[in-house]
Amino acid sequence: MSEACSGGQRRLNVLLCPAGSHGDVHPFIALGHALRARGHDVTVVTSAYFDELIRREGLRSAPVGTAEDFDRVTHDARVWRPYTGFFHLIRHIAPTLRPALAALDGLHEPSRTVVAAPLMLAAAARLFCEARGVPLATIHLQPMAFLSLQQPPSSLSWVHSRTPMALRRLILRLADWGVDRAIGGELNALRRELGLPPIKRALTSWATSPDRVIGLFPSWFAPPAPDWPPQTVLTGFPLYDQSASAAVPEALERFLQAGEPPIVFTPGSANRFGHHFLRAGVEACRHLGRRGLLLARHIEQVPPGLPTDVPHFDYAPLSRVLPRAAALVHHGGIGTVAQGLAAGVPQLIMPTAFDQPDNAARLRSLGVGSSLAPGRFHGPAVARELEQLLESEEVACRCREAARRMREGYPLEEACDLIEALGG
């Protein structure tokens, strides 16, 4: 095996550790392709649920747990609660710490290994790097992950710029307490076995890498706050959606060619509770007299007896569909947000949990979209919001400007440079 890549860079053993849904895994696959093109050895260490996808993409996979473990998480309704869902998700992560740590240890090549992983959901990666002295890049896919006190996330609708700083600190302390309670016992048990001291406030005082933090979004989407870690660099959205390996189904291609651009509705790849969202979408299309398109991986969510002008498909790359769409209605996941920005279409979001409300607020501030809370997300209301978005020339202008800005820069190349720098 050669020790050097093209350009003289030392050949690295890069371990990518995504965690979450397809939208969380796709950016790491894009990063894996870019690093491998530079001559590095790349392994994706994540849930076994994504093993087939990663192998189909031509990357080496190190699956952790089982696909059933992943399904168990997505079927847990508590995970989708607005304020407490993250802590329930962390409880599901705790049992994976030990097998994930074992997988990383098995892949470790001293002096050649570099790791890239998201905040807290891949806590095993942070633990592994601390114990083995391996450099780590913490990857933030969304601005909310920075846990800023000076720019509090809109996920807490009652916290804003005028909220006293003492109250903001208290809220963050409560978040720390919740994470420690959910995962702290298992985490500290492993630390004792590794000869490391116990930790408290894992979320805010430990989870972020001291080596490098990479934000995979541009500064015009989220300007850096003064209290972000000083080792932070923003690159841009990687915009990966399997478009090179997943074709648009022939029936969908015929539908797109047969009439006016449809309104695309997608509740998110991991969401198993999208019944209400999709029913409201069908009803909104009827109110507007417009064609629609439902993209949902889980067929049990799809309303029966769909009209012919609102068909359902389980998946199609958004980068192939959205440039031919009128608008995008979705859950507010950061990957879907980025695809909508790149396509220059107005977006309507029904945010429920995690980073979704914060992402929705940023789209509103950019003037390219709006949002409706789940309790207000019904057919007539969705139709009214979409009508306002589609008839506004200002929104159309803002969308075109966002699409232009999305074409600027080289986010994957910049991220690769930063990861290579960690490897010396």
Rounded CA-CA distance 95/68 in Å is 14
Q: Is 217 helix (H, G, I), strand (E, B) or coil?
A: coil
| Beta carbons within 10 angstroms of residue 365's beta carbon | 12
Residue 259 — very low, low, confident or very high, per pLDDT cuts 50/70/90? very high
Same domain, 207 and 266: no
Report yes or no on 53 lying in a domain: yes
Tokens representing residue 323 in the block? 């440039």
Mean pLDDT of 153-160: 56
Rounded CA-CA distance 204/414 in Å is 26
Does the global pTM surpass 0.75?
Answer: yes
Same domain, 132 and 59: yes
* pLDDT tens digits, 219-255: 999 999 999 999 999 999 998 887 676 778 899 999 9
- Residue-by-residue DSSP string for 143-205: GGGG--SSS--TTSTT--TTS-HHHHHHHHHHHHHHHHHHHHHHHHHHHHHTT----S-HHHH
Tokens representing residue 386 in the block? 């979409």
Residue 308 — very low, low, confident or very high, per pLDDT cuts 50/70/90? very high
* pLDDT tens digits, 91-127: 888 889 999 999 999 999 999 999 999 987 789 999 9
User: For residue 226, what are the CA distances in angstroms to 146, 160, 342, 361, 363?
Assistant: 11, 16, 28, 20, 22
**Which of 343, 350, 332, 339 minimizes the C-alpha distance to 386?**
350
Report yes or no on 241 lying in a domain: no
Same domain, 85 and 186: yes
Same domain, 224 and 302: no
- 2, pLDDT greater than 50: no
Strand partners, 4: 10
Same domain, 261 and 391: yes
* pLDDT tens digits, 30-78: 999 999 999 999 999 999 999 999 999 999 999 999 889 888 887 778 8
**Phi-psi bin for 236: left (phi > 0), alpha (psi -120 to 50), beta?**
left
Same domain, 323 and 335: yes
Spatial contact of 213 and 137, defined as CB atoms under 8 Å apart: yes
Range of the domain at 33: 6-236+409-422
Report yes or no on 381 lying in a domain: yes
Q: Is 391 helix (H, G, I), strand (E, B) or coil?
A: helix
Q: Find where tokens 């009803």 sit.
A: 283
Residue 158 — very low, low, confident or very high, per pLDDT cuts 50/70/90? very low
Q: How many domains does the chain have?
A: 2
Report yes or no on 245 lying in a domain: no
Residue 20 DSSP label: S
Phi, psi torsion values for 400, nearest 5 degrees = -65, -40
Percent with pLDDT over 90 in the chain: 68
The reported pLDDT for the residue numbered 322 is 96
**Which of 24, 31, 231 minimizes the C-alpha distance to 135?**
231
Report yes or no on 91 lying in a domain: yes
Residue 11 — very low, low, confident or very high, per pLDDT cuts 50/70/90? very high
Report yes or no on 277 lying in a domain: yes
* pLDDT tens digits, 289-300: 999 999 988 788
- CATH no. for residue 103? 3.40.50.2000
Q: Kindly report which listed range (77-81, 311-315, 373-377) carries the lowest average pLDDT score.
A: 77-81
The answer for residues whose C-beta is within 8 angstroms of residue 144's C-beta and 6 or more apart is 153, 155, 354, 355, 358, 359
Same domain, 367 and 418: no
What value, to the nearest 5°, has the Cα angle with vertex 135 and ends 52 and 15?
A: 10
Same domain, 232 and 287: no
* pLDDT tens digits, 162-178: 778 888 888 888 888 98
* pLDDT tens digits, 317-356: 899 999 999 999 999 999 999 999 999 999 999 998 888 9
Instruction: Note the maximum CA span of the chain.
Output: 65
Rounded CA-CA distance 284/387 in Å is 10
Q: Kindly report which listed range (141-145, 257-261, 269-273, 393-397) carries the lowest average pLDDT score.
A: 269-273
Same domain, 132 and 219: yes
**Which of 367, 256, 401 minimizes the C-alpha distance to 318?**
256
| Beta carbons within 10 angstroms of residue 215's beta carbon | 25
Same domain, 281 and 230: no
- 159, pLDDT greater than 70: no
Same domain, 219 and 300: no
Rounded CA-CA distance 113/125 in Å is 12
Q: Is 387 helix (H, G, I), strand (E, B) or coil?
A: helix
CA dihedral 297, 70, 372, 169 (to 10 degrees): -160
Report yes or no on 244 lying in a domain: no
Report yes or no on 52 lying in a domain: yes
- 1, pLDDT greater than 50: no
Strand residues in 247-326 grouped as ranges (E): 263-266, 292-295, 312-313
Residue 4 — very low, low, confident or very high, per pLDDT cuts 50/70/90? low
Residue 371 — very low, low, confident or very high, per pLDDT cuts 50/70/90? very high
Same domain, 274 and 210: no
What average pLDDT does the structure give for the chain? 90
